[in-house]
Amino acid sequence: MLADVTAPIPVMVLAAGLGSRLAPLSSWRPKALVPIGDRAALAHVLDCVRPIARAIIVNAHHRAEELEAFVKAQRDALVAVSREVELLGTAGGVRAAGGLLGAGDVLVWNSDMIGALDAKALVAAHVQSASRGALATLAVRRCAANARGNVGLDDRGRVVRLRGETGASLAGRETRAAEFVGVHVVGEELRRDLPAAGCLVSDVYLPALRRGVALASCEIDAEMIDIGTPREYLRANLRWLAARGAHQNAWQGGSVTVAEGVTLDGAILGDGARIVGAGLVRSCVVWPGGRAAAPIVDTIVAVEGVVQL
């Protein structure tokens, strides 16, 4: 049984990246602001972390003005932006935001990881792991049988392999494989030595493993989708729609226009979207203000352009 965690924790939401794999969507909006169902991806993350947050800091670089405007529109005193003139990486971003985050452990969440992860349970797991000497706790999903995954765990749930590299002092003790889902708690001790620029995995966790430092894991049941590609972005939207109920074959925002001869099947239509023509609109996302002509399948439509998958 995990200890009940009542003390709020600072949260870092990583949203500064260029989102190159998501192009061309990321050239139209910052990756953190692409819509998932009825709201931006970042809004879904904020919903997950607010219940345990003392402060929520979102770093911004690519299209930073749009992220700043979004955060300002939230009118939430907990949420602030750490703007990066140059990209600092995941570790550098956390270090640069140190004054806004305050002291202590920090929950780090990649803004492109969408899913109903229980942040309170992860933080509680870290409290327990830290009492046994762990300096960080990674949220992971167990792999299917015979899958290697990007994380190897021992029988106590400690990380013994990460990105193919095995911790020197723990070699040979891996008992199961898992996938790191881009959400983790970085302990205060590790935070003290974060590089000014660099990656939390490559430049912090891997060197720690080499030194024999204990890194813990927290196995989660929630599916997490990395919306880093247009196909996975579409899948995240369809999962959001499915979660609303089996009877739901579409979601429509305000002021949507759908022509009489159109049938919707797995369609998410943002505010002001317009569907013309006739036939099936299946597995599609139409952004606010977008115009699509039926029939159309497996497509993302924005005002700026169309992505056919």
- How far, in Å, are 74, 83, 114 from residue 15 at the CA level? 16, 10, 13
Evaluate whether 112 touches 16 at the Cβ level (below 8 Å): no
The reported pLDDT for the residue numbered 2 is: 45
- How far, in Å, are 69, 248, 296 from residue 257 at the CA level? 28, 18, 16
Is residue 131 included in any domain, yes or no? yes
Domain encompassing residue 119: 9-226
Q: Which CATH number belongs to the domain containing residue 41 in this structure?
A: 3.90.550.10
Residue 242 — φ and ψ, nearest 5°?
-60, -35
Is residue 232 included in any domain, yes or no? no
Is residue 242 included in any domain, yes or no? no
Beta partners for 14? Answer: 59, 110
210 and 302 share a domain? no
- Which residues, at least 6 apart from 27, have a Cβ–Cβ distance to it below 8 Å? 304
Three-state secondary structure call for residue 242: helix
Evaluate whether 92 touches 198 at the Cβ level (below 8 Å): yes
pTM: 0.94
Q: From CA 98, how far away is CA 100, in angstroms rounded? A: 5
Is residue 284 included in any domain, yes or no? yes
221 and 258 share a domain? no
Is residue 2 included in any domain, yes or no? no
Q: Which amino acid is at 162?
A: L
Looking at the 3D structure of the chain, how many domains does it have? 2
159 and 286 share a domain? no
The reported pLDDT for the residue numbered 246 is: 62
Q: From CA 238, how far away is CA 214, in angstroms rounded? A: 38
125 and 160 share a domain? yes
171 and 286 share a domain? no
Do β-strands 291-301 and 274-286 pair in parallel, antiparallel, or remain unpaired?
parallel
**Chosen domain end from 226, 241, 275:** 226
Q: From CA 92, how far away is CA 84, in angstroms rounded? A: 10
221 and 254 share a domain? no
Q: From CA 266, how far away is CA 247, in angstroms rounded? A: 11
CB burial of residue 247 (10 Å; 0-12, 13-18, 19+): exposed
DSSP symbol at 145: T
CB burial of residue 268 (10 Å; 0-12, 13-18, 19+): buried
114 and 145 share a domain? yes
The dihedral through the CA atoms of 85, 89, 94, 96 has a sign that is negative
126 and 215 share a domain? yes
**Chosen domain end from 169, 194, 226:** 226
Q: From CA 46, how far away is CA 12, in angstroms rounded? A: 10
The tens place of each residue's pLDDT in the chain, 309 residues long, gives: 344 556 899 999 999 999 999 999 999 999 999 999 999 999 999 999 999 999 999 999 999 999 999 999 999 999 999 999 999 999 999 999 999 999 999 999 999 999 999 999 999 999 999 999 999 999 999 988 778 899 999 999 999 999 876 655 555 588 999 999 999 999 999 999 999 999 999 999 999 998 889 999 999 999 999 999 999 999 999 999 999 886 679 999 999 999 999 999 999 999 999 999 999 999 999 999 999 999 999 999 999 999 999
To which H or E segment does residue 79 belong?
strand 79-83
219 and 282 share a domain? no
